[in-house]
Amino acid sequence: MGSAKKRTIGIKDIARYAGVSTGPVDKILNNRGGVSKATEAKILKAIEELGYQPNIFASRLKSAKEYRIAVIMPYATHDIPYWGHHQQGFDAAMHELSPYGIELEALSFSQNNTLSFKDAVSKAILGNFQGILMVPVFHQDTERLLNATARKNIPVVFFDSNISGLGQLSFIGQHSRDSGYTAAEIMARCVPDQSKILIATIKKKDDNHLHFASREAGFISYFKEKSHRLITFENRVEDEQTIGKELLDIIQSTPALSGIFVTNDIHKLIRLLPASALDKLCLIGYDLIDANIEYLKKEHISFLISQQPQMQAYKGIRVLYEYLILKKKPSPEIFVPIDIITPTNIKYYNTIELRDAVQF
């Protein structure tokens, strides 16, 4: 039995449904601004209720416009390899989206260097970009960028870290507090009641990652009404030998210690301590970098929480593509799954195809 062909929804249909003229509708669909908030709300509601889908192929025929997206993120180093894991997500997104005029330009910076971040932000402001995907490490220059892009109506999407209230289009990443709470749930099942648990954060001078503190807050909140005692450690100096000695002193002077939750860089903690000091302790940390995977396989690490960097990168580019070309406004926050990796299931994470893992 045949079915009637669905009628194409056009600008006039949207205008009629919203009770406005076609001019404001055209501005909204082409992201040109100049429309009041009340009128914009009517038009967006009409678009959603009518199920409007733009003809992207027709749009590309009418305009050969290229959409240049700046990606502002730290570059990977031997000491911080995590940032190298996003590339697979960018590659997958570009494999799909380059035919639609999407181009990426990396504006990399040193993670703990304010001047390096300032320079990347300045290049983004001065460059001819239609969208920006960024890790907002330092607040002042992130705000400077958002003020500049707001004047030009350029969408900015945060990933990995979030700073609320700056006018970003969306944030893509892990819910840091919930990931810490999840780590606490696992820890509680692995250690005896009334035992002691160490929360360790190893930071450098200019680290400004609010999600470290959010992870710790989530972990602590779980144990508020439990019988366990929590001890916190945050290094005061950057000298690794001193950090290792301070951690070892805590472990050796705390016989009831049964677990360590590391908010960042768990591989550094293990590297700084003798294996005998960590024997029989439950260790939980973050990220599937090579060193952590090896420690997990050897069971020096009990559990790892994946931040899904490939998924963050892939979704970040998809969100900007859908906003710029399909005129689809994303959710203010898009959270990736909180995956718990064990010595047993790690082998499956090494074989999953990215595009199977990053579907919306």
pLDDT score at 65: 73
The per-residue DSSP string of 82-149 comes to GGGGGHHHHHHHHHHHGGGTEEEEEEEE-TT-HHHHHHHHHHHHHS--SEEEE---SHHHHHHHHHHH
Could you give the 3-state DSSP secondary structure of residue 259? Answer: strand
Phi-psi region of 184 (alpha: psi -120 to 50; beta: other; left: phi over 0): alpha
Residue 230 CB coordination number (10 Å): 17
Average pLDDT of the residues of the chain: 88
Instruction: Give me the domains of the chain, ranges plus CATH numbers.
Output: 11-52 (1.10.260.40), 62-173+309-338 (3.40.50.2300), 176-306 (3.40.50.2300)
pLDDT tens-digit profile of 268-287? 999 999 999 998 899 999 99
Q: Are 288 and 317 in contact (CB under 8 A)?
A: no
pLDDT score at 33: 74
Q: Are 281 and 262 in contact (CB under 8 A)?
A: no
pLDDT score at 193: 93
d(CA 248, CA 78): 25
d(CA 213, CA 58): 48
Nearest residue to 173 (alpha-carbon basis) of 354, 345, 305: 305
pLDDT score at 2: 42
Residues of the chain falling short of pLDDT 70: 1-8, 31-32, 54-64, 205-209, 350-360
Nearest residue to 325 (alpha-carbon basis) of 35, 127, 58, 18: 58
Tokens at residue 275, please?
A: 């294996």
**CA-based angle 136:138:32, to the nearest 5?**
45
pLDDT score at 351: 46
pLDDT score at 143: 97
Q: Are 161 and 136 in contact (CB under 8 A)?
A: yes
d(CA 73, CA 137): 9
pLDDT tens-digit profile of 178-206? 999 999 999 999 999 999 999 999 877 65
pLDDT tens-digit profile of 137-171? 999 999 999 999 999 999 999 999 999 999 999 99
pLDDT score at 355: 46
Flag whether the pTM goes above 0.95. Answer: no
Q: Which element (helix H / strand E) includes 355?
A: helix 354-357
d(CA 226, CA 253): 22
